Amino acid sequence: MKKNYTFNLFLRKSKLIMSLSIGMLFFSEFLSSAPVLAQTIAVENSDKFPAADQMVFSRVQYPWRRTNPDGTFTPYNENHDKVKLRINNKGTSTLTVSKFTLSNTAAWKVIPPKSLPLSISAGSYVDVTVQFVASNLDKRVKVIHNTLTISSNDKNEPSKVVQLHGLFQRSGEGNREPYAQEIINAFNFKTVTGFGHTDGANDGSAIVPNSDEIISATFSRADGSKPVTVTQMAAYHGCCATIESFKWYPKGSSSVTTLFTHNPLDGQSVLPRKRYNTSGLSQGSFNPSGSFGFKVGTANSDRSKNFEQRIGLRIWKAKNSSGAIIPNAYIVANDYLGTNVTNYDYQDNVYYVSNVKPDGGGQSGIALASSPSALDYGSVNKGSSKALAVNLKNPNASGGVSIKISSVALTGPNKGDFTIGSLATTLNPQASTNFNVNFKPLSKGIKNAALLVYHNAPGSPLRIPLYGIANESGSVINAVKRVKGAADASVTIAGKVWESDKNYRKGSIKLDSQVQPGPIAATDQDVLYQTYLSAATNLAETREEIPVSNGSYYVRLHFAENFFDADGARIFNITIEGQTRLSNFDIHKEVGYRAALVKDFAVTVNDGVLSLKFNPSANRVALCGVEIFRSASAAAASTAFPAELEVNVEKQSPQLVVYPNPSSGENFSVEATHLAPQEEVSFTIYNQTGQTLEVKTTKADENGSAKAQMATNRRLTQGLYILKGRSQSGQTQTKLLVE
């Protein structure tokens, strides 16, 4: 009788566990687990703009008012000089705030609710007031940038830094008001208007040279599942009885809808309050079904509607503090045309508009494209190397915007296993360049990192995930299971079978998906990330309990943030086998909206069940998939796989190819392969908002291949599209770029 002897060696200090079995070798080098943080500080700017940890203030040193025609006076202006900062404790025990340190005590004050130290119990918060008190900074206007540092017993961030931005104004109205560029600078944006006080001799006739300005009469929603959001950054016009409204109208319509109106007392201020609701900022959102234009006062985004067809609304690409273009975001500012006070300074009312794209495309530039979207090196022996190339392309049409690549970098837990050279180049429209990334693993395990490509187009840096498996001589790592989150049936994605999690999900359960189907960044397997396991209610616990043999495993969890487009909206802890491995995980904070992200863990299972537990502190979990890997001796792996490894022996799944790609947008071909003979297949084109543009159905030939011509009676506009093929054999998809 054959006996199976096992010897276990546990070295707890080094967190290494080795299990030796006759005929099978398992070795696991444990990733350092993130302990539960007893105190976890999180700050929240009550204005929520421009960010949770960035606050913007303004102050007119000498209060300002106007004389009415009858000799009476308006009320004095009100300053945006006091803002609440909420200090949250997201941890499990008391957070103690011991000190507030201002980098410029002459310009700022902190007013806590009581004397220090402040004790904040787990799950609770304290609001403090930050006040802008600067005086005599300039004879007109001065913008300053300082910091507030919060010292506490938070082990991870004992010194939490909050950015403070202040716009000082000595007195009100006229030439004493801030220029458009100064207002933008006050928010720490790097957008360039190209002019100072006024646009000079231009007088609203054309785009200002050497600026970030665009011209577009109308816009569309960039993401059809999200509303267009507008926040008024500033109002600098007649004070303090004058109001102004932000309005929008459907393209071709004379019907105008008012989104909001600001408070009359805030006519010399950043972030003016909303009229009749002085506790809230002037901001709002709307959900247009098609193209639309903007209107402020008498100025329209469509200049043909304006006085002498001049530019009444200047529109600039929004750039963050690093100078990178913020995707689908613009700064819009008006001047009052055709009056005796028209001066073309475009700072009377300034707005931040997000989730929009100019109709016609190209005005603001298109993001740098990569092919493939992620690099998967497969298996490589430790000490060996493998190089893969990524193609970087400027997809802008001829005559469009050039993209300047400034640098590349590696990031992620296993960045030391990958090497890159330097890259600094300018890609003219339609130009591309190939760039090699080398995988040379230093240790055994599953590996992930990311290549970051920094550039001057929207969406910088471009993030390209890097995946690999590092084997050692005599042993190999194979997938044990692939489990698709929120799937009631198994699915095949890019040739890999993902098992349904129907029998594994526990606790609070919701099968969630994108509101409007759209592409996922940093992957070519979009369908894996477009649906996800969530919870039925906020803050509820969700679990996956997956039966596996006892032993050591590598576990890869797949995530994407498909709903929230802001940091801090979805936060949760990840517990594996009773041990918290990742605390306060915020998908959006790491990679942004609709982008693929994986987290790898080394795990030992002793009870026959891999237990995954997700506990949110904000909203709910969003789990797209689980991959489980195991190391086996090479001989065992090649002769007798355990039952749970059989998922790797997979039949070929349908594959979809579109050509030419990039395309002109009309009369291109699609081909699906690995179908059953004479099987019916449907091809569907979707735009980025998930709208179905065209469907064609055909049958496969005797070799299991089906072809069709698409867009034969229409021309697709410039942009990115999703093509899907559906048949009894499965579903597959690919991306099409139209130039």
Quick one: what percent of the chain has pLDDT higher than 70? 91
Under CATH, what is the fold of the domain 370-473?
Answer: Immunoglobulin-like (2.60.40)
Report pLDDT for 24. Answer: 35
C-alpha 140/C-alpha 424 separation (Å) is 41
DSSP states of 294-306 as a string? EEETTEESSGGGS
If one counts every other C-beta atom within 10 angstroms of the C-beta of residue 76, the result is 17
Residues of the chain with CATH 2.60.120.430: 477-650
CB 635 within 8 A of CB 559: no
CB 630 within 8 A of CB 554: yes
Q: 7-16, 313-322, 350-359, 428-437: which has the minimum mean pLDDT?
A: 7-16
543 pLDDT higher than 80: yes
Q: Which residues contact 451 (CB under 8 A, 6 or more apart)?
A: 375, 390, 408, 409, 410, 418, 420, 437, 463, 464, 466
Report pLDDT for 37. Answer: 52
The per-residue pLDDT for range 88-136, each reduced to its tens digit, is: 998 889 999 999 999 999 999 999 999 999 999 998 999 999 999 999 9
Report pLDDT for 266. Answer: 96
The per-residue pLDDT for range 432-488, each reduced to its tens digit, is: 999 999 999 999 999 999 999 999 888 889 999 999 999 998 899 999 999 999 999
159 pLDDT higher than 60: yes
The per-residue pLDDT for range 20-44, each reduced to its tens digit, is: 333 333 333 334 344 445 678 999 9
CB 555 within 8 A of CB 626: yes
Report pLDDT for 125. Answer: 96
644 pLDDT higher than 50: no
What are residue 543's DSSP bridge partners?
506, 613
Report pLDDT for 689. Answer: 58
Residues of the chain with CATH 2.60.40.1930: 655-738
Compute, in degrees rounded to 10, the torsion defined by CA atoms 687, 689, 692, 698: 50
Residues of the chain with CATH 2.60.40.10: 41-176, 370-473
659 pLDDT higher than 60: yes
C-alpha 125/C-alpha 91 separation (Å) is 11
CB 704 within 8 A of CB 677: yes
The per-residue pLDDT for range 699-737, each reduced to its tens digit, is: 988 888 889 999 888 888 877 788 888 888 777 778 887
Report pLDDT for 566. Answer: 85
Query: When comparing pLDDT for 226 and 364, which is higher?
Result: 226
363 pLDDT higher than 90: no
Please report which helix (H) or strand (E) contains residue 185, including its range: helix 180-186
Quick one: what percent of the chain has pLDDT higher than 90? 69
547 pLDDT higher than 60: yes
Question: What integer is the mean pLDDT of 351-364?
Answer: 79
398 pLDDT higher than 90: no
Question: What integer is the mean pLDDT of 367-383?
Answer: 93
CATH class of 655-738: mainly beta
What are residue 670's DSSP bridge partners?
658, 708
Give the model's confidence band at 6: pLDDT under 50 very low, under 70 low, under 90 confident, else very high: very low
CB 228 within 8 A of CB 217: no
Q: 63-72, 409-418, 577-586, 643-652: which has the minimum mean pLDDT?
A: 643-652
Of 379, 400, 539, residue with least CA distance to 468: 379
CB 358 within 8 A of CB 400: no
Q: Which CATH number fits domain 41-176: 3.20.20.70, 1.10.40.50, 2.60.40.10, 2.40.50.140?
A: 2.60.40.10
Of 729, 718, 623, 714, residue with least CA distance to 668: 714
Average pLDDT, the chain: 88
Of 669, 690, 691, 683, residue with least CA distance to 726: 683
517 pLDDT higher than 60: yes
Report pLDDT for 401. Answer: 81
Q: Which CATH number fits domain 477-650: 2.60.120.430, 3.90.245.10, 2.30.40.10, 2.50.20.20?
A: 2.60.120.430
351 pLDDT higher than 80: yes
